[in-house]
Structure 1
Amino acid sequence: MTLSVIRSNRSLARPAEHTPSGILDLSAIDRIPVLRCNARTLHVFRHGGLEAAQVIRGALSRALVPYYPLAGRLKESNQGELQIDCCGEGAWFVEASANCTLDSVDYFNDVSSIPYDELLSDSVPKTDGMEPLVQMQVTQFTCGGFVVGLTFCHAICDGLGAAQFLNAVGEMARGLEHPSIAPVWHRDFFPLQSQLEDSTQSPNFPPPLPSYQLKHANIDISTDHISQLKQQFHESAGQTCSAFEIVAATFWRQRTRAVNFENKTEVKLVFFANCRQLLDPPLPKGFYGNCFFPVTITTSSEWLTQATMVDVVKLIQEAKSKLPFEFSEYINGDYARNGEDPFAPPLTYTTLFISEWGRLGFNQIDYGWGPPVHVVPIQGSSIIPVGIVGSLPLPNVGIRLMTWSVEEAHLQPFIHLMTTPI
């Protein structure tokens, strides 16, 4: 059955009460150019009823009172610095209905067949060329379930911050008067460095874009298998490791084998680590801005393909142990002296990005009918090799590695290596 979606209402969800106005400065991390983009996700809920869209819209308006900056718009200062105009114009909200059940589309388990354009908001209004920072479409299915299609401005929140806000919307939908975690702006957690500004606005021309197109593959991993690999690591190394480290090591190693790079090719693994607790004092609970730093690991393809899983996990752990020092250097502006921007790793086939979603909080969002059965990230680029570590759709338990990391010629070797027991 072909999915057909009809949008019945489009409007701005403004804060339910009067909110402060004025201009707010963003942090130096918020203003990194690579974050000047939208993150898009689908959140699939098994139950809801006909009133789901109205309940969520009302809760969104109430949540925008304490989170009033999210009802504003991006602007640039006279010096070209990104700011928030707290104008209270609101979030964009679209109500829609589909002509089928969620079961008939398997709760969008097959990412390759999802009609994203039908499930994300459309006709988005602009103010002085700027879109709303939060855009949401709630699509009701004939079974009573619904899908929230979310578009979120990355310059305002990282994944933890976005999940914190959505959980607040869920609490408002369930009848709470105030969010259980009060939002904290606190974007001045380190002084702006002139050398940081100079580095992120380099006059160098970007490299030519590659011509390959990355293919999607889901790799499902049981908790039992993860436990076995963690036990193997403990027996060999005499120390513990995380599920993320196991998945990242396996993913990087097997992808490199599948691609079969020439010997001594330099390959990189990049992931972004939460740094809220690395500041002195740590950022307060409720902070919802961007506060992370890239962990970048470089080695040769020859070493990586010959290394054991234990070797690769150790390499990842060693890189993570340097995070406090490297983040401190970044805060102090010292990294600019070597001419390298840690937030601008080479976007080539030899660089693999991996992101952990399991602990962000998206899977706990509850608008009154229980948490989502499935949270689906939407590919941001067809040329940046990436994997996202999430959870299997409920009621299954385990890890789902959602990948867009290899081109067609390497897809089957990659899937074979990832699904063959180590």
Structure 2
Amino acid sequence: MGSGSASSNSKKSLTFRVTRQKPELVRPAKSTPREFKLLSDIDDQEGLRTQLPAIHFYHNHNNDPRINGTRRRLDPVKVIREAIAKALVFYYPFAGRLREGPGRKLMVECTGEGVLFIEADADVTLEQFGDALQPPFPCLDELLYDVPHSGGILHCPLLLIQVTRLRCGGFIFAYRLNHTMADGAGVSQFMNEVGEIARGASAPSIQPVWQRELLNARDPPRVTCTHHEYDQVADTKGSIIPQDDMVHRSFFFGPAEISALRKSIPLDLSRKCSTFDVLTACLWRCRTIALQPEPNEEVRVMCIVNARSRFNPPLPQGYYGNVIAYPTALTTAGELCNKPVGYAVELVTKLKRVVTEDYMRSVADLMVIKGRPHFTLVRTYLVSDGTRSRLTDVDFGWGKPVYGGPAKGTVASFHIPFKNKKGEEGRVVPIFLPGLAMDRFVSELKNLLLSNNVHRGAITDRSISVKSAL
């Protein structure tokens, strides 16, 4: 057994202890094929060779008439563990291990070894988390324990899952995924299928499709589009490669805040752009001002785009590999910070349109030609729209999560659907900046909102210093 305690320096301190059982491997419930499966040339790029953490919080629904008496008596740890084993029969590559071949080509050896699973208990209730049900989460390292030697990309479990029972009868489901195996839509598909099986289904309603060859490079490979996301950029003081004294804060944007930000751009532009476009552009601008790059330095915004709808014919419905692109807009810091906000909005709106099927083919070809490079993070604001993610739908039989989504925002920032204490629907955006830059960011954002008639705080007062570099 292992245990740990932690506290959050949110407005009201929260301290609790987590007691963990020894990590175990959950194998497929039935025998599965032993074979090698190649990843696609989109999957195995350097930028996806990382771990993707997520977390879900579930209420105790014992008094909910929709939950029958038998379900109320069930142990979520046992139910979820068994459902994972059954789901792995269909998603058996997740039970294997990654290997690397010639040309840095990644493949899964389907060994059936299983995924890492941790059973845990915490002496805290869901209600005690209060407004902490958004990144940064108190005690995240204990709620999603990093099992020693488990976090490598090669030769390690592809999924790490921890289910933590809470004192109130609720529970927390947290996991870490090797990103080369699936993107947000893919892992959402898998977790929802685990939920279906946990609720009694014998098989997934959407059959998983591997077929990674559909996103392999052409023969011969040829780069046919412009890909600024893979430019080699020199690092300078304006970069956001994390260092010591970083601060992680989340910001809530409800209808009033979004309306205020829209007032900062021309009406005709506001009518044709999305909430994501406006909010991303405003945060990019505030963030750039806060980081204080030289006026002539190039700055970038990079949006993670799910390209599934851009293919003709469409990819198979159950395809769970990575189908994401990183289109990038660039300008100088001086232009971004001195021009009206509408300038930034126009850049964000246009960049998402460039992702087509040919664009994705071109990315795959670039990976083969240039040795699978990492997208650039230098002076880049990387952001993803998670408001349509089905992670908020994952139901193991105790209803949908109070929160379901990214466990933290660091290099990438996410738009996460969120309902505040007043019942307002909106989105939370985690931001990760050096301490002094965060102060400037908050000030700049407040000024932007106040100048457009928002007289209540959109800024959360929760922040947590992060001492270790990423």
TM-score, normalising length: structure 2: 0.78
Superimposed CA distance per residue, residues 220-278 of structure 1 (whole angstroms, 9 cap, x where no aligned partner): 01034435655876733374221211111111111122333332221111122112232
Would you say the 8 A contact 2:23–2:118 is kept in 1? yes
Number of aligned residue pairs: 411
SS at match of 1:269: strand
Task: Kindly state the Cα deviation for residue 84 of structure 1 after the two structures are TM-superposed.
Answer: 0.6
Q: Is the 8 A contact 1:329 1:335 kept in 2?
A: no
Contact 1:215 1:411 in 2 (8 A): yes
Aligned to 1:23: 36
Q: Which residue of 1 aligns with 2:467?
A: none
Amino acid at match of 1:103: E
Measured after TM superposition, the shift of residue 85 of structure 1 is 0.9
User: What is the alpha-carbon distance in structure 2 between the residues aligned to residue 398 and residue 300 of structure 1?
Assistant: 31
- Distance in 1 (CA, whole Å) between partners of 2:174 and 2:18 is 13
Structure with more relative contact order (C-alpha pairs < 8 Å, separation 6 or more) = 2
1:97 match: 121
Q: Which contiguous aligned blocks of 4+ residues in structure 1 show a shift greater than 4 angstroms?
A: 124-129, 193-197, 204-213, 227-234, 334-337, 393-396
Match of 1:365 in 2: 394
1:172 maps to 2:202: no
In the alignment, structure 1 residue 407 sits paired with structure 2 residue 434: yes
* 1:346 matched residue in structure 2: 376
CA distance in 1, matches of 2:90, 2:127: 37
For residue 53 of structure 1, report the CA deviation from its aligned partner. 0.7
Q: 2:406 aligns with which of 359, 377, 394?
A: 377
* C-alpha distance in structure 2 between counterparts of 1:226 and 1:283, whole Å: 34
Identity of aligned residues (%): 30
CA distance in structure 1 between the partners assigned to 2:405 and 2:323 by the alignment: 23
Mark the runs of 5 or more structure 2 residues left unpaired by the alignment. Answer: 1-13, 62-71, 453-470
Residues 107 and 93 of structure 1: CA distance in aligned 2, closer, same or farther (over 3 Å) = farther
Q: Go from structure 1 to structure 2 and tell me whether the alpha carbon gap of 1:205 and 1:277 turns closer, same or farther (over 3 Å shift).
A: closer
Displacement after TM superposition at 1:147 (Å): 0.7
Is 1:155 aligned with 2:197?
Answer: no
Indicate how the Cα distance of structure 1 residues 115 and 206 shifts in structure 2: closer, same or farther if over 3 A, else same. Answer: farther
Per the normalisation by structure 1, the TM-score is: 0.87
2:23 corresponds in structure 1 to 10
Alpha-carbon distance in structure 2 between the residues aligned to 1:329 and 1:137: 37
Q: Tell me which residue corresponds to 1:81.
A: 105
Cα distance in 2 for partners of 1:279, 1:189 equals 11
Give yes or no for contact 2:98–2:154 (8 Å, CA) kept in 1: no
1:326–1:239 Cα change, 3 Å: farther
Q: How far has the Cα of 1:218 moved from its partner?
A: 1.1
Tell me whether 1:217 sits opposite 2:249 in the alignment: yes
Unaligned stretches of 5+ residues in structure 1: none
Residues 419/44 of structure 1: CA separation in 2 closer, same or farther (3 Å cut): farther
The match for 2:465 is none
**Equivalents in 2 of 1:328, 1:130: separation in Å?**
28
Q: Deviations over 1:120-143 (max 9, x none)?
A: 145467699722111101000010
- What letter matches 1:408 in structure 2? G
1:45 aligns with 2:58: yes
The separation in 1 between residues aligned to 2:347 and 2:374, in whole angstroms, is: 21
Following the alignment from structure 1 to structure 2, what is the Cα–Cα distance between the partners of residues 179 and 325?
28
User: Could you give the per-residue CA deviations for residues 175-203 of structure 1, whole angstroms, max 9, x where no partner exists?
Assistant: 12222211111100144368699x9xx9x
1:78 CA drift (Å): 5.7
Partners in 2 of 1:165 and 1:128 — Cα distance? Answer: 20
Q: Aligned pair in 2 of structure 1 residues 150, 81: CA closer, same or farther (>3 Å)?
A: same
For 1:336 and 1:133, locate their aligned partners in 2 and report how far apart those are by CA, in whole Å.
Answer: 24
Amino acid at match of 1:375: G
In 1, the alpha carbon distance for the partners of 2:429 and 2:153 equals: 39
- What's the CA shift string for 1:312-338, capped at 9, x where partnerless? 22111222222227715615736988x
Give the aligned partner of residue 144 of structure 1. Answer: 169
| RMSD of aligned Cα (Å) | 3.3
What's the CA shift for 1:52? Answer: 0.7
